[in-house]
């Protein structure tokens, strides 16, 4: 971790991180404007996740009060977009599995009813307006952030801690196969992925292969979560799915869990200190 700290200090990465924070925030406003005229809200939600990962990386460096304030605003924006994003994700999830379902599976009618409630233009406009209101006030906060001379130390520590927790939680989640554990582990995988992207400039070369593999793992975990969301949607409407549909969903989920169990080990089998040393030496 000392090597990572020195690399951050030597290459002036601290200032670059602050510039990246403002660039990401500006990009979020662009994404929200695009969503208001027909683009998916997925882009804005992904941008919010990157920003929250950045805040997590800088939490100790900028101070708990400032980081907590920024994270609250970003979470509020994410929550405002949750319903339309869920509609997008459910539509994509059903499209992936529909070919393997019986003709009268019932999910299409259920999904269309959900889309009518949460994805029409009026509901979408309200969601975007709430998201904009949530993040408008943090422009000045981002501009006020300052990193002291020793900021590299907590940044390096935050990077290592995120990897450590992702490694621990992902191992347990892959073993159990439980939906909630896999969902929580996915959040940490995403944070680690974003931290790698944010600190990519300090490495001798960007760890492209690792980033690609992390994205594939993230997608697998996301597909599992989407299947759970489809089942939860049916339960919320007291809809008893036909046995063939339930079986198809469970088989699909089991296949995805097997892929996760295979994919996570090469990425997280290394203990934290050797991993950080290795990633800096790349």
Query: 203: domain range?
Result: 2-281
Helix or strand or coil: residue 77?
A: helix
Q: Quick count: other Cβ atoms within 10 Å of Cβ 81?
A: 24
pLDDT of residue 132: 96
CB atoms within 10 A of CB 208: 9
pLDDT along the chain (282 residues), means of 10: 63 75 94 95 97 94 92 97 91 84 77 80 91 92 82 88 98 95 97 91 74 96 92 80 84 95 96 87 56
- Residue 199 has a pLDDT of 84
Query: How many CB atoms within 10 Å of residue 13?
Result: 22
The Cα–Cα gap between 45 and 74 comes to: 10
Number of domains in the chain: 1
What pLDDT is attached to residue 3?
66
Angle made by CA atoms 245, 233, 52, in degrees to the nearest 5: 120
**Predicted TM-score of the model (pTM):** 0.90
CATH code of residue 163: 1.40.20.10
DSSP sequence for 158-205: HHHHHHHHHHHHHHHHHHH--HHHHHHHHHHHHHHHHHHHHTGGGSSS
**Assigned token pair, 112:** 């269309």
Q: How many CB atoms lie within 10 A of CB 222?
A: 19
Res 12: pLDDT: 65
């Amino acid at each position: 971790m000392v090597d990572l700290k020195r690399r951050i200090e030597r290459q002036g990465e601290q200032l670059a991180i602050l510039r990246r924070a403002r660039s990401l925030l500006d990009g979020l406003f662009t994404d929200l404007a695009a969503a208001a005229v027909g683009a998916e809200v997925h882009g804005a939600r992904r941008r919010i996740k990157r920003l929250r990962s950045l805040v997590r990386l800088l939490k100790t460096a900028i101070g708990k009060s400032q980081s907590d304030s920024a994270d609250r605003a970003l979470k509020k924006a994410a929550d405002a977009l949750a319903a339309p994003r869920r509609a997008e994700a459910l539509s994509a999830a059903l499209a992936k599995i529909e070919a393997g379902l019986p003709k009268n599976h019932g999910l299409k009618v259920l999904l269309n009813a959900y889309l009518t409630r949460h994805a029409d233009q009026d509901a979408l406009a309200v969601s975007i307006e709430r998201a904009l209101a949530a993040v408008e006030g943090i422009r000045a906060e981002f501009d006020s952030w300052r990193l002291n001379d020793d900021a590299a130390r907590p940044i390096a520590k935050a990077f290592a801690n995120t990897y450590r927790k992702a490694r621990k939680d992902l191992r347990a989640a892959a073993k159990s196969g439980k939906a909630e554990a896999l969902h929580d582990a996915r959040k940490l995988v995403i944070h680690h992925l974003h931290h790698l992207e944010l600190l990519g400039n300090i490495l001798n070369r960007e760890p492209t292969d690792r980033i690609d593999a992390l994205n594939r793992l993230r997608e697998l975990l996301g597909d599992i979560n989407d299947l759970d969301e489809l089942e939860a949607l049916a339960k919320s409407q007291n809809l008893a799915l036909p046995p063939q549909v339930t079986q198809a969903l469970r088989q699909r989920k089991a296949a995805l869990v097997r892929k996760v169990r295979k994919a996570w080990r090469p990425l997280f089998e290394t203990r934290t200190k050797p991993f950080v040393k290795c990633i800096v030496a790349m």
